[in-house]
Amino acid sequence: AHVYRTTNPRGPFKPTKKYLNYMLDGARALGLPEEYIKGLTVETVD
Give 6-40 pLDDT, tens digit per residue.
Answer: 777 787 788 999 999 999 999 999 999 999 999 99
> What is the total residue count of the chain?
46
Model confidence at 4, in pLDDT bands (50, 70, 90)? confident
- For residues 20 and 37, the answer to whether their CB atoms sit within 8 Å is no
Q: What per-residue confidence (pLDDT) applies to 5? A: 79
- For residues 14 and 42, the answer to whether their CB atoms sit within 8 Å is yes
